[in-house]
Amino acid sequence: MEIKSIEHKRIKRINVSQVSEEDDNLAIEEPLEIKLEYSSQKNSTEQVVSVTMRTPGNDEELALGFLFTEGIIKHVSQVKETKVLAVENKVLVRLQENTLPILQKIERNFYTTSSCGVCGKTSIDAIKTVSAYQTKADQICLQPALLYGLASALENHQSLFKKTGGLHASALFDIEGNFLFLQEDVGRHNALDKVIGAAFLQQALPLDKNILMLSGRASFELIQKAMMAGIKIVAAVGAPSSLAVQLAEDSDITLIGFLRNKGFNIYSGEKRILI
């Protein structure tokens, strides 16, 4: 079945000299219900853990990336089956028998918008997660020039953004600056969950020898997801928030903002950049 990420719309385009009718491309935004099924010796439970607004496509990666970065599951071996019901906008993740998810801190109202991945949580404690890779040491040391081309490489690979102008992207590069892959979505947190979910499925975590490139700003939730995946370097086209910088400092993450072809700002972890 073909997954549609773009919808065509007839619009009126207006400028100072004329009014014309043209076809335009819209990024599709639809809800995705993420359900967990798990069992013990006594009973079986099926539970909705989130409904998020996303761009259809890579729904399995999105669901698994979300469950991992929220700290609900820890390893792909805990997953028995992932059933994607694309027509119904649902993903069911079945865990292995006697594998219980960690749901104590999720405390969601079950709904998140495409712009906010933490706004459905009901307490400050619920937004805190702990990474198994946080204390993993590294010897990464990069030349500034290696970073200059990342923003252009990201843009060149954003095929859906070129058609719609309405999608965020998260991309992985190796520490030599080579492009690996990216995911696009109307929600910046969804794009990153799709990237981390793909690595989770491939048993490629931690991503401690990769650079994460973000197409927009660096928010707290994106740094937290990067931390959960063991990422040590996060670069963003836009600005970081104050809480993102604080979390990057606390988690020993190198955080770079306003990355352009000839410069950038370092907000934390400057030890990994040769300056």
Q: Is residue 80 part of a domain?
A: yes
- Range(s) of the domain holding residue 190: 144-272
The CATH number of the domain where 167 resides is what? Answer: 3.40.140.10
Residue 48: CATH number of its domain: 3.10.20.10
Of 127, 160, 191, the residue at which a domain comes to its end is 127
When divided into structural domains, the chain yields a total of 2
Which residues share a beta bridge with 24?
9
Residue 44, domain member (yes or no):
yes
Whether residue 55 is contained in a domain is answered as yes
One domain, residues 150 and 232: yes
- Residue 12 covered by a domain: no
Residue type, 250: D
Q: Are 197 and 58 in contact (CB under 8 A)?
A: yes
Q: Are residues 160 and 91 in the same domain?
A: no
Q: Does 107 share its domain with 220?
A: no
Domain shared by 121 and 180, yes or no: no
Identify the burial level of 133 via C-beta atoms within 10 angstroms of its C-beta, where 0-12 means exposed, 13-18 middle and 19 or more buried: middle
52 and 155 part of one domain: no
Q: pLDDT per position in the chain (275 positions), as tens?
A: 567 888 999 999 999 889 999 999 999 999 999 999 999 877 899 999 999 999 999 999 999 999 999 999 999 999 999 999 988 999 999 999 999 999 875 654 445 655 566 555 544 454 567 888 877 789 999 999 999 999 999 999 888 877 887 799 999 999 999 999 999 999 999 999 999 999 999 999 999 999 999 999 999 999 999 999 999 999 999 999 999 999 999 999 999 999 998 899 999 999 999 98
CA distances from 20 to 7, 10, 89, 221 (A): 20, 10, 36, 41
Single out the catalytic residue among 116, 140, 142, 243: 116
In a domain, 260, yes or no: yes
141 an active-site residue? no
